Amino acid sequence: MELIEDIKTMQKISRVKARENKSIGFVPTMGYLHQGHLQLVEKAVEENEIVVVSIFVNPTQFGPEEDYDEYPRDLERDLDLLRERNVDYVFYPAVEEVFPEGYATYVQVEKGTDVLCGRSRPNHFRGVTTIVTKLFNMVKPHRAYFGQKDGQQLLIIRRITADLNMDIEVVAGPTVREEGGLAMSSRNKYLSSEEREAALVINRTLRKASKWIEDGERDGWEIKKKMEKEIKNEPLATLDYASVVSRENLQELGEIKGPIMIAIAAYIGSTRLIDNVWLEVD
């Protein structure tokens, strides 16, 4: 396994591998890897001849009041985990090289980015779509792997790859959960044991909502109201949103139908957590 810090070196490696007709699988991460990341990595290793994992905590997707500085980092541990899984290259560029002085270009999706997480995190998805476009140009993968846990992000990345004609297959990996159903996230590290218990309300509520829909409920506003009530009943939780949206355009649904995502974001103590479930509804 090789650690690459220089952007031009990464591009050169990818150019050479493409010329050798080797498929490149790419897993972009912000590091502090958990089972969710590692399952994506294992899938990438299975499906490609060369695997690149990037570790880059992207400042442009954090708001000014958010946890960019405190975001957990542990490069040595991450490298060990990736070496064990036979990753070929870990790409670890410096912030100053990725966003040099005078930087001015942004990739922006103008639909579906001002709802759900985009409402409470105004420039978040602009930061995500910009760094993903940049990383794709640095790594030039054939396939790129993203977790379903960040469901809105996954749908928005599918949108930019289609819209900008990127010749890259976006592969989704299922959300990996701790016992009790809590979605794995690097931010779970912030939780006290009491908060960890309280955080289970998020996934429990999503499972209840799925059940209500399975049982025949088709009124999106009704489901939303009942989910909100569940979250508000948990004293350590503060609701950000609970929504039933179309996976096609991320708009909230009055009548539940088609490919949908049920999504919740809530603060548990001061930690913001998200989770979602995807359903196909007749």
Interacting residues with its own copies (CB under 8 A): 7, 11, 15, 18-19, 21, 102-112, 129-130, 133-134, 137-138, 140, 159-160, 163-167, 249
Least separation in angstroms between residue 4's CB and its own copies is 14
Q: Which among 34, 37, 124, 142 is annotated as catalytic? A: 37
Q: Reply yes or no on whether 37 is catalytic.
A: yes
| Residue (142 or 272) nearer to its own copies, CB | 142
Using alpha carbons, select from 76, 82, 20, 250 the residue that is nearest to residue 154. 250
| Residue (167 or 179) nearer to its own copies, CB | 167
| Residue (83 or 111) nearer to its own copies, CB | 111
- Residue reference for tokens 């989910």: 227
Least separation in angstroms between residue 249's CB and its own copies is 7
| Residue 129 neighbours by CB under 8 Å, 6+ apart | 106, 107, 108, 109, 156, 157, 160
Least separation in angstroms between residue 11's CB and its own copies is 5
| Residue (41 or 109) nearer to its own copies, CB | 109
Least separation in angstroms between residue 281's CB and its own copies is 21
Strand order in the sheet with 237-246: 237-246, 258-268, 271-281
| Residue (136 or 190) nearer to its own copies, CB | 136
Q: Is 51 exposed, middle or buried (0-12, 13-18, 19+ CB in 10 A)?
A: buried
Least separation in angstroms between residue 10's CB and its own copies is 9
Give 83-88's long-range contacts (Cβ < 8 A, gap of 24+).
Answer: 83/1, 85/38, 85/41, 85/42, 85/45, 86/1, 86/45, 86/51, 87/1, 87/41, 87/45, 87/51, 87/52, 87/53, 88/1, 88/2, 88/50, 88/51, 88/52
Q: Residue 139 half-sphere exposure, CB side, CA atoms within 13 Å?
A: 32
Catalytic residues: 37
